[in-house]
Chain A
């Protein structure tokens, strides 16, 4: 049995950790948090693009490094640890994966090199209303070669050059009416409205489309199936980000509890706090193991992916949400100040657990995929 990352992958992890420790400290995260006009850390983005991280899992023929999904998992964990304020997840886990898996040869040639180099940023949008996205909630339409409609929230929409959306390609209003379209956001008829998010280091906007040009991605009427598959792939990567964030939340809670004295002793010596941190550890280890399994399924194109991805996602959301909120609790009063970093993780944990579908939704996915697997 070899249920672990390789030595090369661990080396990549060490390098990524060291790099982000230097270049993505809390101060740089906060420059994005504090400034409404900044949507991501441009300098960091160009540095990680230069190192090829954006092209990690993109084949060499399309300008990527041609490494595998496991390497991308390794990088995801480090981005999660450092709270990197970049559109990496939107552009790489979603946009690039959609193109890579469903794009025509021409589309791959056109988009992937630009995404791999970090020169252009892509994203994906499904949601138009509050609540769980479902086919009948998609009102955006494609007809006479033009898109009309609205998407919100669109993660990294402000910075994105390209957007993939689901839109109705016929009038039936069901799952098979939906197709995916690629939109160049630099055109007339695209209007963006900024939205404030619970984690401003991961911004979103709403976008209105009026007679906007678009090209079909993949097979007509298959938007929902393709989206489910790409969300499964992305869920594994998100889970690594979440595990990374959860681990740092625990590390910082622990550090503070050993420095802070009350009643004449380190607060970390009180069992009420120790047990909280032990529970964080338990959830994180379960999440890490579930994420590993997701990584295995992702990297081997296993039939297990839908179950493995949902398991990883549910477990990681639970771990990060718990670790982030209890990190504030362990810090006491300073934990809910702007100056201390606890809220950065608290914000990020909730945002990540909502970004490609809520925990509730992923629990439902998990059980329905288990049912399907049992029938097969």
Chain B
């Protein structure tokens, strides 16, 4: 047992570290950046929240694009992609090493992950050669940003319940309906979408998958204001949006199969969330006072801290087990499926408890709040979203139960009935 890199791994790590040192700023345990309102967590591509309205958001986007271009030129933007599309042609262990190193730096995140992590790989499997040549390189350099148009108001955890209509009209398709929770739709240039092309077929059989230009007439993007007061997600309305059949990925009615390619890559795309964990609350307890002195000296506080420590490090060491498999060229076991489930609730519990420790000043959610730059107030809101985005706690538990433990599927009412005959609670 050791934690050492192999010779090649060490060389790659040095390459990554040199690049980051030359081009980015190190992150401290508790960031003192004035704009650091959110605890910088990349949940399925939610960009760092930027205060200061549209202009500041535009500036942040431009900064992100500049960074992405540099990263792409150095080869680190798409380590797993083949060289022919501008990738590094690297291995999963190299991706892990780069991510570990980047984790220590303050770099823009949340703009390009969905494209590079999920949508690009989908196009590689299902796209035509000319599409791949046209779109993939610009996805890496950040010149074109992509979003994923899957969820709908009545299709969240039950994703295959999509109602967005796709009707064929000659060589074109006409899309009508609504998508929701679309990260980055407000700045994305392109999107990938699943729509229902045959409502009389079974639920998973009547779907078709397309890509489209987000400037296509008839598309309207409306940001959703979240409990954090910020907007990372959007509603996207489709009103007679016409796209050519050449933008179909996979066959008619094969949309679910294509969507699974996208979703299979989701786990890889969802980043390692830095910013609010044991280390942050440990620091906080050394500053905050409770009735009998510093919080860290209080035995109830210490008992709780121990629980969070073993969760936090337990996850880190679980990752080490998976990395070990990758390093040996093997497929990791299912152990990392616990990751987001543990992280999100831990963040919520840690945040809520930190606010308790602040006592009445925990109420204050303002940049002037002297205590730890609002880290825990932000986390309190952000974690509530994190327990839902990218698979709710409940869906993740189902996945562990069924796919990891092999327990039977729940009884389902939607397996053998044509989609348009399923009860929806609205008829």
Contacts and interface: CB of A to CB of B under 8 A. Distances in A.
B314 interface: yes
B114 interface: no
Interface in A273-290: 274-275, 277-279, 281-282, 285-290
Contacts of B342: 282, 286
B318 interface: yes
A338 interface: no
Contacts of B303: 360, 363-364
A367 B302 contact: yes
B1 A311 contact: no
B397 A278 contact: yes
A296 to B, nearest CB: 5
B335 interface: yes
A257 B341 CA distance: 23
Interface stretch (A1-9, A20-28, A50-58, A210-218): A1-9
B401 interface: yes
B400 interface: yes
A107 interface: no
Most B CB contacts (10 A, CB to CB) among A278, A299, A370 go to A278
B317 A293 contact: yes
A258 interface: yes
B119 interface: no
Interface in B301-323: 302-303, 305-307, 309-311, 313-318, 320-321, 323
B282 A370 contact: yes
A274 B407 contact: yes
Given A285-B338, A295-B1, A364 B299 contact: yes
A343 B19 CA distance: 57
Contacts of B409: 269
A163 interface: no
Contact of A290 (B313, B338, B394): B313
B2 A1 contact: yes
A109 interface: no
B43 interface: no
Given A366-B306, A366-B309, A281 B324 contact: no
Contacts of A254: 405-407
Interface string A222-260: 000000000000000000000000000010001001100
A266 B1 contact: no
B407 A257 contact: yes
A250 B338 CA distance: 16
A281 B309 contact: no
Contacts of A314: 306-307, 309-310
Contacts of B9: 1
A271 B311 contact: no
B335 A285 contact: yes
A97 interface: no
A314 B313 CA distance: 12
B405 A289 contact: no
B324 A275 contact: no
B134 to A, nearest CB: 39
B291 interface: no
Contacts of A360: 303
Contacts of A371: 296
A292 interface: yes
Helix, strand, loop or mixed for chain B's interface?
helix
> How big is chain A's contact interface, by range?
35 or more
A201 to B, nearest CB: 27
B130 interface: no
Interface centre among A1, A4, A70, A318 (most CB of B within 10 A): A1
Contacts of A266: 408
Contacts of B400: 278, 281-282
Given A279-B397, A281-B338, A367 B1 contact: no
B14 to A, nearest CB: 16
A370 B306 CA distance: 10
A268 B4 CA distance: 42
Interface of A: 1-5, 70, 250, 254, 257-258, 265-266, 268-271, 274-275, 277-279, 281-282, 285-290, 292-293, 295-296, 299-300, 310-311, 314-315, 318, 360, 362-364, 366-368, 370-371
Contacts of B324: 1-4
Interface string B391-426: 000101110111011111111000000000000000
10 contacts: A258-B408, A270-B410, A274-B410, A285-B314, A285-B335, A288-B318, A292-B1, A292-B317, A299-B1, A366-B310
Nearest to A4: B324
B95 interface: no
A293 B313 CA distance: 9
Contact of B394 (A5, A258, A275, A293): A275
B314 A289 contact: yes
Contacts of A268: 407-408
Contacts of A299: 1
A38 to B, nearest CB: 36
Contact of B402 (A274, A287, A363, A367): A274
A257 B401 CA distance: 12
Contacts of B315: 286, 289
A282 B341 contact: yes
B5 interface: yes
B327 interface: yes
A95 to B, nearest CB: 26
Contacts of A281: 338, 400, 404-405
A286 B407 contact: no
Contacts of B408: 258, 265-266, 268-269
Contacts of A282: 338, 341-342, 400
Given A257-B407, A269-B407, A314-B307, A289 B1 contact: no
B302, B325, B335, B405 interface centre (most CB from chain A within 10 Å): B405
Interface in B134-174: none
B306 A367 contact: yes
Contact of B314 (A275, A287, A362): A287
Most buried by A among B299, B323, B394, B401: B401
B5, B321, B407, B408 pick with most chain A CB within 10 angstroms: B407
Contacts of B325: 4
Nearest to A312: B310
Contact of A363 (B306, B316, B411): B306
B398 A3 contact: no
Given A3-B317, A254-B405, A314-B310, 6 more contacts: A1-B3, A254-B407, A269-B407, A271-B394, A286-B318, A366-B309
Nearest to B299: A364
